Amino acid sequence: MPKKLKVKTLATYNGHSIKNNKAIDLNLRFTYDELPSYIQLIQFLNENTALKIKRGDQESQNLGTFMIKEIKIDNDGEGLIKFISMTDYANVDEITTIVGYGIFKIQFEATAEDAGDEDAEQE
């Protein structure tokens, strides 16, 4: 049975790049205060994850669908998470609006297959 995953936290933009093959990398930074929230993103590994942000009083923006490429936590508890997607599934114009912006709210949503279901099917 699919399980809905949803995490809300605060983040800052930490760069993005678009490669010739249309792959897009998006880097976000999370503060130590947000550790209990962003550490939950480990359960999003290998899942297509929808990223939505909200800046101040503005309407929420859909950044697209990404997968987690890398999670790093430094000795200060600050998190650096790299996401990867293709330009077909990412809203590049929306991503460019967060360049140079401070802290914003971000929501991650995915649907994951429950690992227990796979074991039941194999029996």
Q: What pLDDT score was predicted for residue 4?
A: 92
Nearest partner of 51 among 21, 17, 94, judged by Cα:
94
Residues 106 and 7 sit within 8 Å (Cβ to Cβ):
no
Q: What pLDDT score was predicted for residue 11?
A: 95
Quick one: 60 exposed, middle or buried, by C-beta within 10 A (0-12, 13-18, 19+)?
Answer: exposed
The residue extents of the domains of the chain are 2-112
For the structural domain made of 2-112, what CATH number should be given?
A: 2.40.30.170
Provide block-wise average pLDDT over 10 residues at a time, the chain (123 residues).
Answer: 91 95 96 93 93 91 95 93 95 91 94 65 50
